[in-house]
Structure 1
């Protein structure tokens, strides 16, 4: 893996993790939780995947830049779902996910198998 400074990307990933965790927790506290099930599920997946991406970048893993392809995908999915809800926490999460997806897109490399 190339020796780039990934500080800004890691910050975006961790900001996305925080937004997703906050959104999932807030969704669980809504009066009507059932309509929020997909949102909560994607929030949790996105938080886990972004957290793992940050760890891979921190340790300069050989697969880190390939893993960002998956990260970009889940961020798009989560942003789309959260964006459909009017709750402030969902809108903040959607914005963080969109920003993270863009950052991942700028840094990822295609998945290859040798």
Structure 2
């Protein structure tokens, strides 16, 4: 059985991405052009929530860990792509943290499922 300590790098990067996303959301909401940043705000909000979800799966070495980490990586990549379009430092820091998290989550790999075998 894998322990949470063995997933500590991924847990740490998921937590850092979630915090960077939270900071980004709050900073974006304080911008004069917050409406223009709507997509970044939504992406960062979703990403922060999903990163925190992934931390729980990692901490308990869930059987669904690979699937959740794959999804987390995809959500982090989407957030990074959105936030990277904006020059504000908080958006750039969020994009960077999300890329790092995505890279680590992708290392968790995923086992392809054959739906026909499940029936």
Identify the TM-score tier after normalising by the shorter chain: over 0.9
- Which structure 2 segments of 5+ residues have no match? none
CA RMSD of aligned residues (A): 1.2
CA contact (8 A) 1:69 1:110 kept: no
The normalised TM-score by structure 2 is 0.90
- For these two proteins, the number of residue pairs brought into alignment is 113
Aligned partners of 2:84 and 2:58: how far apart in 1?
28
Aligned partners of 1:95 and 1:16: how far apart in 2?
8
Superposed, which structure 2 residues align to 1:1-114 within 5 Å?
2-3=1-2, 5-112=6-113, 113=115, 114=118
State which structure, 1 or 2, has the greater radius of gyration over its C-alpha atoms: 2
Name segments (4+ residues, structure 1) moved above 4 Å: none
1:65-93 Cα deviation digits (max 9, x unpaired): 21111101011100000000010000000
1:39-78 Cα deviation digits (max 9, x unpaired): 0000011001110001111011110121111101011100
- Which structure 1 segments of 5+ residues have no match? none
